[in-house]
A and B are shown apart, each in its own frame.
Chain A
Amino acid sequence: SQTIHQWPATLVQPVGSPLSLECTVEGTSNPNLYWYRQAAGRGLQLLFYSVGIGQISSEVPQNLSASRPQDRQFILSSKKLLLSDSGFYLCAWSVKIPGTYEQYFGPGTRLTVT
């Protein structure tokens, strides 16, 4: 069965510090991968998605970046965090098989920028 991991689960970082959040998927190959941010009491904002290694699409201009160095690994980064980067970050995956289109989510990372 497929599983998705995210770490860390919780992170407190000062303004101006770098960020690296990691997401890995097990039990599937060549998945679509996604990064979302959920601000307090808000919906999900799609940040990045990837359909393959090295292929990243950015949805929102910001100081965040994403990379996909391996098929099942998706990394969210920042060189200098802003207070507005605080939130709950969710990684998700979906398969490319026609007729199967559900998106499956990881447990999330709660980021607090102080």
Chain B
Amino acid sequence: AQTVTQSQPEMSVQEAETVTLSCTYDTSESDYYLFWYKQPPSRQMILVIRQEAYKQQNATENRFSVNFQKAAKSFSLKISDSQLGDAAMYFCAYRSFGGTYKYIFGTGTRLKVLA
């Protein structure tokens, strides 16, 4: 069975600085998708970025980028120029390419942004 591990329960970053959130996963599959979701205090889950495992190029969305290391099964999220609105819980998630459409989430990292 697939697992997703986020080993950092909490992280802090100064406003305008850069922070990296870590995520590792375990799978025997070769094709899959990876995601980072943001959950602000409103608790609405928001998709931040996605990565297809068959793509070698790391995904980027504005200030958010990932470092996808398939062999190491690592999928970290880098937030550049951190803003107060980035403060939230961040969840890493995995989905198989086909089959059951199940998504597996990590336990989350709480990001605090310091003014």
Report A-chain residues with C-beta under 8 Å of the C-beta of B101: 32, 49, 51, 94, 96
* B35 part of interface (Cβ distance < 8 Å): yes
Is B105 an interface residue, CB under 8 A from the partner? yes
**Closest Cβ of chain B: how far from A65's Cβ, in Å?**
18
User: In the complex, are the beta carbons of A108 and B44 less than 8 A apart?
Assistant: yes
Query: Which residues of chain A have C-beta atoms less than 8 A from B105's C-beta?
Result: 36, 43-44, 46
Chain A residue contacts of B102, Cβ below 8 A: 46, 49, 59
With a cutoff of 8 Å between Cβ atoms, the chain B residues found around residue A57 in the complex are 100
Q: Looking across the interface, which residue of chain A has its beta carbon closest to that of B42?
A: A107
Tell me, in angstroms, the Cα distance from A103 to B93 when the chains sit together: 10
Given contacts A32-B101, A57-B100, contact A105 B33 (CB under 8 A): no
Residues of A within 8 A of B45 (CB): 90, 92, 105
Given A43-B105, A44-B105, A94-B101, A102-B47 contact (CB < 8 Å):
yes
CB distance from B86 to the nearest CB of A (A): 19
Chain A residues within an 8 Å CB radius of B104: 46
Within 8 A of A (CB), among B97-115: 100-108
State whether A46 touches B103 (Cβ < 8 A). yes
The answer on a CB contact under 8 Å between A108 and B43 is yes
Residue contact A43 to B106, C-beta cutoff 8 Å: yes
Question: How far apart sit A42 and B33, CA to CA, in the bound complex (Å)?
Answer: 22
Closest to A107 in B: B44
Docked pose: A96 CA to B98 CA in angstroms? 10
How far is B101's CA from A32's CA once the two chains are assembled, in angstroms?
A: 8
B78 at the binding interface (Cβ < 8 Å):
no
- The 6 listed contacts between A and B (C-beta, < 8 Å) are A34-B103, A46-B103, A49-B102, A88-B43, A102-B47, A104-B47
Residues of B within 8 A of A (CB): 6, 33, 35, 37, 42-45, 47, 50, 91, 93, 95, 100-108
